[in-house]
Each structure stands twice: as structure tokens, then as C-alpha cells.
Amino acid sequence: MENIVRLNLQAAVPFVSDSEMEQSLEKAFNSFDILTDRSGRGNDFLGWTDLPSKTDNSVFNDIYDIVNRWERDVEIVVVIGIGGSYLGAKAAIDSLSHSFTTHLGKSDGPSIVYAGQNLSEEYLSELLELLEERSFACVVISKSGTTTEPAVAFRLIKQMLEQKYGKKEARRRIVAVTDNFQGALKGLANQEGYSTFVIPDDVGGRYSVLTPVGLLPVALAGFDIRSIIDGAIEMERICAQRSEKNPAIIYATIRNALYSKDKKIEILVNYNPKLQYFAEWWKQLFGESEGKEEKGIFPASVNNTTDLHSMGQYIQEGERTIFETVISVARANRSLSIVDDPNNLDGLNFLSGKSLDECNKMAELGTRIAHIDGGVPNIQIEIPSINEYNLGALFYFFEFACGISAYMIDINPFDQPGVEDYKINMFALLGKPGYEAKARELRGRFQ
């Protein structure tokens, strides 16, 4: 079988010495041991490590029951969630979808839109305006069930569903994905009799893409979730090896070796706009897992060649604190060649007959070489093509590498204590009972 994730460090290792690489590799093996023998901080959140191989048929059957339930009469499914309850589904659906799917008119299944990932009045008002006109259903996803953004969006969407279809039919059009025991959403779902899916207790938000959090929206969008899980199972097998053949160990090794050389920013680079949200998912995974205790590589991303015309200058010549990780896709899923122009006024006839993908690949190679020459180390992660199987593998690969990486800098990868601070301030400023003293303190600071 071809390698699903092929790592090329040729353009990164010259930036660290052999002994620095060796030290980092030793640390990576230690962290691999901490992760796999479950002895590290946050070890009650390791359910994702063997989740793919434990996914049984009942998960797929329950998901396809919902797909079938809505297949005939639902045009739009609103997926409500934020952070780990949003980015994985959006990453997979965008990667797999036709770029102009919304302009193509009705396809076989419903189209997916998102809510609860921001508090913009315009965004939600415009979404409600659209839903007035269309037959819709909703999947509300929140592990805690208490996150403000999705809870606010769900209030409005639930009300609209009930007004439009009546309570009984609204119940058929609402599915909740949440924690099994606690949380307001679980209570509400039980009370109202919604169909529910459980997010396992030991799987945190940003590690939940391979649970119904990601799988249900992706199946509703018409993609093959069995294949996603098959790819993840294969990667689970590969990542379980305590060996230098394990790409997660090697990726964690090189990024931490670079970090110790003051390369503090990692830019995930893609050359296909379909992967833009994959990068957003990756940024959350690494940012929220590693950015603690005044440590951690800052995760950023660019979408090339678009961003070569905006961020390319900085990457080439700005502060030398960055390194790049390029997701390189070996084969495009389409083919399109550049046509000959007898007048050749743009002087581009030397490209006639070449595929666009070849041009893209040469832009990628040329940029790589220019950036290395400019002092930017470059890690290449090649996948064979964009499809469900390879995406499932890539999700799992990065999750596993992130677990190892965070333990290498002695960080708990599975909590997010810093996310609470803004919430406390927001609640105080909005007048939540019990937060009066905090509100006074905050208002006193900006008068």
C-alpha cells in the first residue's frame, strides 16, 4: 500500500545539528511512551487514541438513520457548534466538496451551513432569513452543552423550527450531539425527546472529529464516513509503532528541534483552497493543545499560491522565527491543461499543454526552495490525494503527533484553561448574576 502520510525532512534537517536531532528524537520517544502507557497529564482524555479501531457498525447505522430520515425533505442542515465541535466537520466537508457546491443547485442530499461559531448579528440574521425560505433541520453539537455561542444560535433556530413546523415535527428535525451525563444540552435533549449522539467522556473537543461530532455532518453532506474511519484505523496502526518509521514521532521530533532553535511559528501551507479549513482545524488542535504556561509553537497557515501575493514577502524576508509545514497533495482529482494562444500576447505559450497541477507543483517547489534559501526550514507532508480515506488518516496523524509534541514541552495537551478568561469577562459585562463584582472591576479599567 502506498504511504498515506509521507514525511520529507530534507529541507528542515539542515537547520538543526545531528546532536540536536538526536536529543529531540529521544524526547519524542519518551513522550510517545508517556502517551501510549497513559502516564501523562490529561490521561483521562485519551479515548481518541483507539477510537477509530473501536468504531463499530452501530455508530455508522445510527448516523445513516439520520441521513435517511432527512434525505427526502430537508434542503439545508444547520450544524451548530464552535471550536472542536465545528472545525473538524467543516475541514472535512470543505476538503471533499465541489468548490462551487452552493451554486450548483440541489444535489442528492442536503447542503450544510454552520451556526454558533460566532456571535455576529448579521451572520445569524441572514442565516435565519435564508432558513425562512427553505426546508431545514439542525444538528446541535456541544460537549459541555453550556458554550454561549452555540447555545444562543440554537435558541433562535429551535424557536424558528418550532414556529415553522410545530413542536412534533421540530423534534424530528433536531439532533443533539453532546456529553452523555452532564450539561444543559443533554437535559434539554432528554426533555424534548431529540435523537442524540454521545461524545465519549474521554475525548476532548478538538480530538473529536472522528466521533459523531465530525462524522454526522460529513455523512449528511454525502461523504463516505466508513472510508474516513478506515484511513484513521490504518494511521492508528502506523502511529502505534515505537519506531522511526512512525511519522508522528518524526514530525514531533523535527518541529520541537526547530522550536528549540527559536523557530517559534509554524505555518501550515497548502496549495489547494479546499484545505483552508483543514488548516483551521490544525491550528486549533496545536494552538489549544500546546499554547500554555508561556510555551508552545504558534500555529499559523497560508493558502497558496493566493497568499504568496500577500504573506509571501514576510515569509521570504521577515523575522527568521518561522518554519513551514507544507501539505503536499501528490495527485489532483481533476485534470485541466493550459491552452495554446496563437497570439501569445501574455508570453505564456511555453505553458501550453501543461496541466494546471504541474504549474501548481512547480510553484510549490519553487517557493520551497526560495523559502529555504531565505532561512525558513521546510517540512513536507505528502498525501496521495484528497479523499475520505486519506483525510481520516491525516486527522489521526496530526492528533497523535500533537499529543507527543505537547508532552515534549511538558504541557498537558488535553485541557484549555485559558479559554475561560474571556468567557468570565463576557458574562460579567453582559450582567450574568453572580458576576457583579467582576463587572465593576472590568468597567473601572476602561472608562
The answer to whether the beta carbons of residues 65 and 445 sit under 8 Å apart is no
Binding segment toward ligand PA5, per CB under 6 A, in 58-66, 95-103, 142-150, 299-307? 142-150
Exactly one of 49, 147, 270, 325 binds ligand PA5 (CB under 6 A); that residue is 147
Q: Which residue is nearest to ligand PA5 (CB)?
A: 205
Name the amino acid, one letter, at 110: P
Exactly one of 205, 214, 392, 413 binds ligand PA5 (CB under 6 A); that residue is 205
User: Rounded to the nearest 5°, which phi and psi values hold at 401?
Assistant: -65, -35
Single out the catalytic residue among 288, 324, 364, 388: 288
| Residue 71 cell numbers, joined | 434525505
- How far is 160 from 140, CA to CA, in rounded Å? 14
Contacts 24+ apart (CB under 8 A), 12-15: 12/254, 12/258, 12/323, 12/377, 12/378, 12/379, 13/254, 14/377, 15/258, 15/261, 15/263, 15/323, 15/377
Handedness of CA 420, 421, 427, 428 (dihedral sign): positive
Shortest reach from residue 142's CB to ligand PA5, in Å: 3
Exactly one of 204, 222, 247, 377 binds ligand PA5 (CB under 6 A); that residue is 204
Q: Is 288 a catalytic residue?
A: yes
Site for ligand PA5 in 68-97 (CB under 6 A): 82-85
| Residue 256 cell numbers, joined | 520541537
Binding segment toward ligand PA5, per CB under 6 A, in 99-107, 136-144, 313-321, 424-432? 136-144
Exactly one of 142, 270, 390, 405 binds ligand PA5 (CB under 6 A); that residue is 142
Single out the catalytic residue among 294, 309, 319, 420: 309
Site for ligand PA5 in 278-317 (CB under 6 A): 288
Site string for ligand PA5, 387-416 (x = CB under 6 A): -----------------------------x
Binding segment toward ligand PA5, per CB under 6 A, in 70-78, 200-208, 316-324, 356-364? 200-208
Strand order across the beta sheet in which 322-329 lies: 6-8, 378-383, 322-329, 265-270, 298-303
Handedness of CA 235, 237, 243, 249 (dihedral sign): positive
- How far is 42 from 35, CA to CA, in rounded Å? 10
Size of the site for ligand PA5 (CB under 6 A): 14
CB closer to ligand PA5 out of 209 and 329: 209
**How many residues are present in the chain?**
447
Single out the catalytic residue among 98, 126, 423, 436: 423
CB closer to ligand PA5 out of 142 and 272: 142
Question: Cell 466521533 sits at which residue?
Answer: 211
| Residue 216 cell numbers, joined | 454526522
Summarize as ranges the residues that interact with ligand PA5 (CB under 6 A): 82-85, 142-144, 147, 150, 204-206, 288, 416
- Which residues participate in catalysis according to the annotation? 288, 309, 423
